[in-house]
Amino acid sequence: MLTYTVSQIATIIRAKFLQQPGDMPIGHLLLDSRKLLFPSASVFFALSGPRRNGNLFIAELYEKGVRTFVVDEHFNGETGQQYPKANILQVPDVLQALHLLAAHHRRQFSIPVIGITGSNGKTIVKEWLYQLLQPDHQVVRSPKSYNSQIGVPLSVWQMDSGHTLGIFEAGISQPDEMQRLEKIILPTIGVFTNIGEAHSEGFLNIRQKVNEKLKLFLNSEVLIYNADDPDIQEAVTNFRNNVRPEAGFRLFSWGRKTESTLQILSIEKTASQTAVCLQYRSGTIDFTIPFTDEASVENAITCCSVMLEMGVDTGQVAERMLQLRPVEMRLELKQGINHCSVINDSYSADINSLTIALDFLQQQQQHKKRTLVLSDILQSGKSSLELYQAIAGILRQKNINRFIGIGPELCRHQQVFDPIAERAFFLSTDDFKQHFHAQHFHDETILLKGARLFEFEQISHLLEQKVHQTVLEINLNAITHNLAAYQGLLDPGVRLMAMVKAFSYGSGSFEIASLLQFHKVDYLAVAYADEGVELRRSGITLPIMVMNAEESTFDVLLQYNLEPELFSFGILEAFEHYLRRSAVHLYPVHIKLDTGMRRLGFEPGDMAALCERLKASATFKVQTIFSHLAASDSAAHDEFTRLQSDQFLQGCKQIREVLGYPCLCHLANTSAIHRHKEFQLDMVRLGIGLYGVDSNPAMQQQLRNVTTLKTTISQLKTVKAGETVGYSRKGVVERDSRIATVRIGYADGYPRILSNGKGSMWVNGQMVPVVGNVCMDMTMLDVTGLEVREGDEVIVFGEKLPVAEMASAAGTIPYEILTGISQRVKRVYYEE
């Protein structure tokens, strides 16, 4: 590993030392305080975001052993004296300093580097090139989709003397970003995949977007691109003529045009494969890939172009193309046997993706015991001993309780894992399977991380709980994105309470809460005490408000440190009496005011008596005062909403005057966060918006779909014209029809009101209607004219068929649909 002294880093990033007690070697970049692995050898870049300043995490990291920090000019030099052993480097712009260091590191290597950009397909092309070129090179590549202003520096920092090829992707969302990334990647071979609408918000038009992306190739030796795309071809021609006219810069085009460097002669598809015939120079190249979709065909031809440019023999091209494998883009969290949770990341194994997967494992708080099942890591560019010593060090930092190594190299170096108390080693996956029942997996979170050669899907099948083929997929990245979208609307200092009641709107309990805790929301709210108990038992430590506290649950409120909402004198007096009997003082509570919802809460006429009770009581400590807006999403009721706000603020003022200590006030729900920003006050409550649903069309466009309800086709039948389908013979077909029975019914949460054409589902790229009555466990669809097979996937709602549209068809709201998904429908959580 190439390291730099603190003094060298200061020179490279043009920093001023606020203090320098030491000059130790640095080999690791740290941007997230939650991902610390090697404290003494890390430099922390205190990046600032819209809501948090990186300087706030210096104390925590110093306590954990970090001794080198890069800060901006907002850092108070006198504050640095609290950290006498810390090197503190001050720069005008911390992100720019990170870029300078990564760019310097890149310039230390003269190996070929492939730089990939485009609207779609960047990660697929990168991963396929890794598969295709791995036999010839020690490859360093971007982990996952690390292609941003922060991800690219982290990717390039991995470059080491053992690597012979780099493959990095670059993504941008606005002008002037690519020039900064170009200096860091410095690609010798450029790849432009395609152009589309993704991330177009920051650009005036497609032309500007293409021109910006082309800046990645300002110093490349060659550019590979699809000449059949007119926008790309026009932009590349201008780039060649006006920006890179020198003879040393070459274009490698592919497409159907005869002037293309690599000309497509034919593309022929079968049910599971695509055969491609290409003209290259004076000969032809034929290869077959195990995919049939258009995107995969384009990506494969792009990869073929790169291989030819790098001199790979055409026979090897054909042989390797046939071996291409799907690229899994996500980590999946599923329910396992014996109360286990299983994280399946068994499609690749390298030290960088292992670190990412371990971060995901650390987010899970449902089990105290964390287990890693790891295969040999192939072609890392390090010696086996050096590699596994580094991995053992990472596992110690991540507090892995149990380690299972599979493969001859792990068996050979098992002694480096001796510090892990519970460990076992097996020569192969078959060897592990033979001893599976002796491992006694129970009440633990298990991460599977294996190279494809080891076929860890066999282990996954053993560990995962057998599930109903109808599943609800929850995209954790989308929840993180939506959280950030609303956080970006908040005024400085405004806190956020996340609503996780009703099984997190049907999405899950501890799985969602763990994610929100990881991203440092301020409060959680549940409907009933038992929901809060489950979160506490799963390791959630955030403050939790219980909105419907009952006398029968007072004991568990105290046992699990749950904070009740007090909404009437009856519940207030009962809880106060319970606290006195328990000799508890200043217990945290939340006061609910009814300002117009007419549901729960103290009314204006109660305020004088309420203030007297709170003033006289030493048993309570009021954490927050809040109320519910009845119609914050509707412009027609804005006047009523303002009246509610006025009444609420008056009530808050009265209560605060008698308390004698500060407390928070919160009124804004999801819609009010952006429709009534003046109501943000001290804290907001984010509910349905977190899960990707907002009644405001403009806000909805900024959100990502979180939940996808999927099922499969159980059976296909041909039904003659005039025959009926389903109970009560309600579904009469008017023509000979192809009917698919799918594995979902009203017992799973699919509303019966969607019977007989009111509902639709998404099958193989098309919307198809429900025919007949929805049954308890099954529903029938008319798939006439579609090419479908038994076992094909069916989308009940998701990206293509939003839950709001399904709710509208059912005459209800998305809340009811999401919370009505039955518990027998298994939840699968994934992170891309």
Place of tokens 């609910």: 592
> Cα–chain-centroid distance for residue 395?
23
* Residue-level pLDDT at 329: 65
* Residue-level pLDDT at 199: 61
Tell me: the pLDDT tens digits for 212-222?
Answer: 999 999 999 99
**Host H or E run for residue 233:** helix 230-238
- H-assigned helices in 310-383: 314-322, 351-363
Tell me: the pLDDT tens digits for 444-502?
Answer: 999 999 887 898 988 988 898 766 689 999 999 999 999 999 999 999 999 999 999 87
Residue 146 has pLDDT above 90, yes or no: no
* Residue-level pLDDT at 369: 93
- Kindly state the tokens that stand for 490: 């908040």
* Residue-level pLDDT at 616: 85
Residue 109 has pLDDT above 80, yes or no: yes
Q: Which of 539, 493, 472 is nearest to 691 (CA)?
A: 472
What CA–CA distance (Å, rounded) separates 237 from 249? 12
- Kindly state the tokens that stand for 734: 């008017």
What CA–CA distance (Å, rounded) separates 723 from 737? 10
- Give the residue numbers marked as catalytic: 501, 727
Which segment of 346-360, 386-400, 491-505, 599-613 scores lowest on mean pLDDT? 346-360
> Cα–chain-centroid distance for residue 255?
35
Phi, psi of 723 (to 5 degrees): -80, 165
Do 810 and 758 touch, CB atoms closer than 8 A?
yes
pTM comes to: 0.74
Residue 503 has pLDDT above 70, yes or no: no
Place of tokens 């990647």: 185
At how many degrees (to 10) do helices 122-133 and 294-309 cross?
50
- Over the chain, what is the mean pLDDT? 92
Q: List the beta bridge partners of residue 114.
A: 167, 189
* Residue-level pLDDT at 15: 96
Neighbours of 540 (CB within 10 A): 22
What is residue 48's DSSP assignment? B
CA atoms within 13 A on the CB side of 815: 10
Q: Which residues contact 216 (CB under 8 A, 6 or more apart)?
A: 115, 117, 170, 178, 181, 182, 185, 187, 190
Tell me: the pLDDT tens digits for 729-747?
Answer: 999 999 999 999 999 999 9
Residue 206 has pLDDT above 90, yes or no: no
**Host H or E run for residue 576:** helix 569-581
Do 397 and 37 touch, CB atoms closer than 8 A?
yes
What CA–CA distance (Å, rounded) separates 628 from 353? 44
What CA–CA distance (Å, rounded) separates 622 from 30? 39
Phi, psi of 748 (to 5 degrees): -90, -10
Amino acid present at 657: E
What CA–CA distance (Å, rounded) separates 155 from 718? 54
Q: Is the torsion defined by CA of 802, 808, 813, 815 positive or negative?
A: negative
- Kindly state the tokens that stand for 408: 């001859």
Q: Which of 527, 540, 536 is nearest to 556 (CA)?
A: 536
Amino acid present at 544: I
Residue 347 has pLDDT above 80, yes or no: no
Q: What is the mean pLDDT of residues 401-409?
A: 95
> Cα–chain-centroid distance for residue 351?
20
What CA–CA distance (Å, rounded) separates 307 from 314? 9
- Kindly state the tokens that stand for 141: 């590549």
Residue 173 has pLDDT above 90, yes or no: no
- Kindly state the tokens that stand for 808: 């509208």
Q: List the beta bridge partners of residue 594.
A: none
Q: Which residues contact 313 (CB under 8 A, 6 or more apart)?
A: none
Amino acid present at 478: A
Tell me: the pLDDT tens digits for 763-782?
Answer: 998 999 999 999 999 999 99
Tell me: the pLDDT tens digits for 529-556?
Answer: 999 998 998 889 999 999 999 999 999 9
What CA–CA distance (Å, rounded) separates 547 from 599? 12
Q: List the beta bridge partners of residue 91.
A: none
